[in-house]
Amino acid sequence: MALRNNDLRRQSSEQPSLTEGHWALAVLREFGGLTIHPPPSPPDGLFATDDIIFNPYLAADAEFPRVRDWQAWRGTPLSPLGWLATNPGMLLLAPDGETYLTFDNLMWHLGDSFPDALRTLIRADKPFRLDYDPDRAENPLPAPIVVEPIVVEGRE
């Protein structure tokens, strides 16, 4: 696994800055500006691993309205952490440590803590999938749903 520095300069004056005490600062102090290049997915991996780029400003660029939708749906604040390189899903962190990946109109729960989520992304473990479509006007923000993990041939 390789790490590489990225430019963390602010890209827009419209983007909020993180203040001292913000729940995402601990993660961003350790990982902000880095790219993690995971090893190729294992033969039994359930999805392809992808580079993980930690830059909250670029991750959420032009996506802040969608982040607000996800926050309303989950009922908790969410902070962008970064994104996946070739499949540009945005990584979001909740104050309790739960970490999510969003892509288009889908949201996946990657782990109950950031370290759990990082293991999920690097090891290609199966994340939980939560369905939500913020673009459909007839689909009001639903209450959170409980989704059981999908079991694939002896894997949990």
Domain contains 74: yes
Domain contains 147: no
Domain contains 60: yes
Domain contains 137: no
Angle at 108 between CA 75 and CA 98, to 5 degrees: 55
SS3 72: helix
> What are 73-129's pLDDT values in tens digits?
888 899 999 888 877 788 999 999 999 988 877 888 898 999 999 988 888 777 677
DSSP code at position 150: P
Say how many domains are in the chain.
Answer: 1
Decide which of 106 and 132 is more confident. Answer: 106
pTM above 0.75, yes or no: no
Sequence-ordered strand ranges (E) for 48-153: 52-53, 79-84, 90-93, 99-103, 106-111, 128-131
43: Cβ contacts below 8 Å, ≥ 6 apart: none
Domain contains 67: yes
Domain that holds residue 99: 2-9+19-131
Domain contains 30: yes
Domain contains 138: no
